[in-house]
Amino acid sequence: MSRALAPLLAAAIGLAGSVAATLFLFRAGETALNGVLDERLRGAGESAALGLGGNRTAVDRLQALQKANALDGASLVDRSVTVIADSSGRAGHRADLLRIDADRVQLAFRGAASVGHGYSLGKLDVTTGYFPVRSADGSVDSVLVFEAGQSFLATRADLTRARGAAILLSLLSALALGVVAARWSAAERVRQKAAEQAARGESIATMAAMVAHEIRNPLGVIRGTVELMREEAGSGLAARHGERLEDLLGEVERMRRLTEDFLSLGKPDAPLATARVDLGEVLTEAARAAEATFRQVQVRCRVAARTPVVGDPGRLRQVFANLLANAGQAQERGEIELTSDAGNGFAQVRVHDSGPGLPQVVRERLFDPFVTTKPGGTGLGLAVARMLVERHGGTLAFVDDGRPGTTFEVRLPLAGA
């Protein structure tokens, strides 16, 4: 889990670092820009104040100053804060004290120019400048007032928008990194699981080959001995002894199938003896064998006639024998449904039992070797069946069709499809 979370944690740290760096850089840029704008306004105001000395009604010059410096307003006021001249052409009225800072006006009359925040209109901050205008004798007879709003501060607004775009880009980059990290984690989990399965499969294959080799020959001896005893006894064999011999042969057959499963796991790449096969005949033989093994179970067949596939008939019988054996063990008595049809280039076979069904937790690992829900089960039947079906170019899957019990579906390509 820690390895899976590490890339996501790295993405979060990268996002935090990126946003912090962006905010720091834009804060520094904003401070520098404010300084530049203030100095620009101060330089324009001081130059204009020198040019206006003694000219108290220069409306045209105020208009030129406003246009050249992208100002929202330019005016001259006297000590009583009365407008002497204004770029709008209006004069002789008391200045709007909501827009004019009387204290800074008086400070300018004492010879100190100032630039700074003046007032706000909604979200718009207006910067104001107050510059002393001196007469020919050097005294301050008026104050030049500049108002710089939206047009003058457009660069600052552009910087703010750029900051928002940079933060959004950082978020998108972190999101993309998170997606890549999540996909990498998922791929890493899949790779690790595949490696574990490969290692487990290799050990299973080695063990299976050894077990099958050690069991196969003794089973043949036991089977031959039992059959010989039954033949020699002939009609003199008591019925109960005959039944016990049949039970013994049934167990030998079960062990033989188990040995075949082990051999299949031990040699997953063993060549198939392929031929054109009528799948209906294979299913009918597998059904008869299942009924012979599970005496209290009947296999109800609804098998499509003339369903040709290309495959190894022995291996295909092993597939359906395993599925029917699982069904017989699940329900012990009653009917098992075995149905088949063909269409779209595939033969479809379903095996349904009316047993207790499969727990949800088992379904995820249903086809792993040694996973079983039956007491005494080996968990090899489904693993071997799927492997053999896939080697024939088909699929084997659990089907949740809403009915009680369990349903498995095998799909095999039709011959010539």
pLDDT, mean of each 10-residue run, the chain (417 residues): 58 68 66 69 79 68 80 86 85 82 89 85 80 86 82 62 73 73 78 74 66 72 82 77 77 72 64 86 89 87 86 88 88 89 90 86 75 64 87 91 90 87
Q: What is the pLDDT of residue 266?
A: 59
Task: Phi first, then psi: give them for residue 395, nearest 5 degrees.
Answer: -135, 150
Task: Give, to the nearest 10 degrees, the angle between helix 381-391 and helix 239-266.
Answer: 50
**pLDDT for the residue 6:** 62
| Long-range Cβ contacts of 155-163 (<8 Å, 24+ apart) | 155/33, 155/37, 156/30, 156/33, 156/34, 156/37, 159/26, 159/29, 159/30, 159/33, 160/30, 162/26, 163/22, 163/23, 163/26, 163/30
pTM above 0.75, yes or no: no
Which pLDDT belongs to residue 1? Answer: 47
Alpha-carbon torsion (172, 173, 174, 177), positive or negative = positive
**127: part of which helix (H) or strand (E)?**
strand 124-134
Assess contact for 349 and 322: CB atoms under 8 A. Answer: no
Query: What pLDDT score does 205 carry?
Result: 64
| 8-state DSSP, 80 | T
Identify the pLDDT of residue 148. Answer: 82
The C-alpha atoms of residue 264 and residue 267 are separated, in whole angstroms, by: 5
